Amino acid sequence: MTDSRLTRLARLLVDYSIDAQPGQRVGISGLTAAAPIIEAVFERVLERGAHPVPLIELPGLRETFMRQANDEQLAFVPPFDKMLFEEFDAGIFVHGDNNTRGLSSVDPARLSARQTAIRPLLAKYLERSATGKFKWVRSDYPTEALAQDAELSLREFEDFYFGACHVTGDDDAPAHWRAVSAEQQRMIDWLAGRDRLEVRGPNVDLTLSLQGRRFINADGHYNMPDGEIFTGPVEDSVNGWVRFTYPAIYQWREVEGVEIKFENGRAVQATARKNEAYLRSTLATDGGACFLGEFAISTNFGIQRFTRQILFDEKIGGTIHMAFGAGYPETGSRNKSAVHWDMICDMRADSEIRVDGELLYQNGQFKI
C-alpha cells in the first residue's frame, strides 16, 4: 500500500514548490532507490497537465564513470542535462542514495575536473532560476544508507523526514510553509537596505557587507524541507574567522574541524582535523571557490539533529551556514565557481548577529 505521506509530499513538490502549469516541461531527476516518490511526482505532474520527463540513474553508474572515464569523457556535458537546465520550465531533483560513500575514494582531481566541465550548466541553472524562467526544488527520499548516516533506523528516518516536510498526520503542509514564508519575510524586510553584518560567538568572529544585496526567502520553493534566509555577501567584504562546528561534506567526502580565516573576502587560511588536503584543494578549484557565495541563517527548529545530508543539516534551527563558491544571482552575488560547498556553524550559545550595530539574532533566535 502506498504511504499516504508520499502522495502528500508529491502534491507539495508539484503544486506548491514548482507550481507546475499545463504544457510545461518538468524534469524529474533521481536514482532508482527513490522510485516511490519519483512515481508519485510523475503522476501528480500529469494530473496538473504538465509534461513529466524522468531522468533516472542506476546505482553505481556515477562511481563507474568517475573511476573509468578518460579526460575527454570527464569533460563531456550530457545533452539531456543541458536541455533540462537550458530549456525546461521546471525540475524536481530527488536524492536517494543507497551508497553515500561510493565516490569517497575517487581522486579529488577527477571530481574537480568533472565539476569544472559542468560549470556552464550550474551557471545557466542559476541564471534562469534568478529570472524565474526555471523553477526547481530538491528533496530527499529515505533510504537505508541515509538512515545509517543519520544514525537512525529506516523507520525513524522516514518519520524524521516526512515530519520535517510537514506531510504527516493532520498537517496542512502548504499552510505551514506559507506561515514560514510570512515570518521569514518579516526578517528580510527588516534587513533590506542595511550594510554591515557582524557575527560573534565562540565559533565565529566575522564581518561582511550586505550593501546592494538582498536576502532570499527559502520557504519550500527551492528545498523540501526548507527553512532559511540567505544572501550573497559583497565578495571582498568578508573578514575574520569561523570554526564550522559540524563536519563539512562535499562530493561524498567528510571534512571535520574546518577553520577558515578571511581577508578581504578570500579564505587565506584553511585548516581541518580530517581531510585538510581535500579542503584546500577544493577551495583552489577556481578563482571563486575561496570566496563566499552565500551567507544564511537557518530557521527550521523541526530539524535538530545532524544527518550528514546537507539538505537537512543546513536548515538546523539555531545555526548559520556559509557556502564557498557559486552565489545565487538573485541575491546580487557576483561570485562564480564550479564549487558550491555549504558549511554549518552553531549559534545557539553565547552568539549574536548585529546589523549596522542593531541586534538581529542572539543564541539561535531572532530578536526583532
Determine the length of the chain: 368
Q: What angle do CA 130, 136, 138 make, to 5 degrees?
A: 125
Q: For residue 307, is pLDDT > 90? A: yes
Distance CA 175, CA 328 (A): 27
Between 125 and 42, where is the model more confident? Answer: 42
Q: For the segment 216-272, what is each residue's pLDDT rounded down to a tens digit? A: 999 999 999 999 999 999 999 999 999 999 999 998 889 999 999 999 999 999 999
Residue 324, class by beta-carbon neighbours within 10 Å (0-12 exposed, 13-18 middle, 19+ buried)?
Answer: buried
Q: What percent of the chain has pLDDT over 70?
A: 99
312 pLDDT higher than 70 = yes
Q: How far is residue 167's CA from residue 315's CA, in Å, rounded to a whole number? A: 17
CB 25 within 8 A of CB 88: yes
**Which amino acid would we find at residue 303?**
I
The pLDDT confidence band at residue 362, using thresholds 50, 70 and 90, is very high
Quickly state the pLDDT bin for 304 (edges 50, 70, 90): confident
Residue 1 scores a pLDDT above 60: no
Kindly report, residue by residue over 140-172, the tens digit of the pLDDT: 999 999 999 999 999 999 999 999 999 998 889
Among 35-49, 123-137, 187-201, the least confident range: 123-137
- Domain definitions of the chain by residue range: 4-165, 182-366
Selection from 291, 293, 340, 283 nearest residue 119 by Cα? 340
Q: Please say whether the structural domain 4-165 has been given the CATH code 3.40.1830.10.
A: yes
Q: How high is the pLDDT of residue 109?
A: 86
pLDDT at 108: 83
CB atoms under 10 Å from CB of 149, counted, come to 19
Nearest to 108 by CA among 224, 282, 238: 282
At residue 59, the pLDDT reads: 86
Q: What whole-number distance in Å separates Cα of residue 286 and Cα of residue 116? A: 8
Which range among 121-125, 144-148, 350-354 shows the weakest confidence by mean pLDDT?
Answer: 121-125
160 residue type, one letter: F
User: Tens of pLDDT along 105-116?
Assistant: 888 889 889 988
Cβ 263 vs Cβ 234: under 8 Å: no
Query: Which pairing describes strands 266-271 and 292-298: parallel, antiparallel, or unpaired?
Result: unpaired
Q: Is 49 helix (H, G, I), strand (E, B) or coil?
A: coil
For residue range 4-48, what is the model confidence (pLDDT) as tens digits?
A: 999 999 999 999 999 999 999 999 999 999 999 999 999 999 999
Write the DSSP string, 95-158.
E--S-TTTTTTS-HHHHHHHHHHTHHHHHHHHHHHHTTS-EEEEEE---HHHHHHTTS-HHHHH
Region 54-74: what's the mean pLDDT? Answer: 93
The pLDDT mean for the chain works out to: 94
Neighbours of 130 (CB within 10 A): 16
End-to-end CA, the chain: 47
Query: Average pLDDT of 66-84?
Result: 94
| Model confidence at 3: pLDDT above 90 | no
Surface-to-core class of residue 281, CB atoms within 10 Å of its CB (0-12 exposed, 13-18 middle, 19+ buried): middle
Nearest to 154 by CA among 96, 230, 227, 90: 96
Strands 340-346 and 352-355 turn out to be unpaired
pLDDT average, residue stretch 310-331 = 95
pLDDT at 2 over 80: no
pLDDT at 270: 98
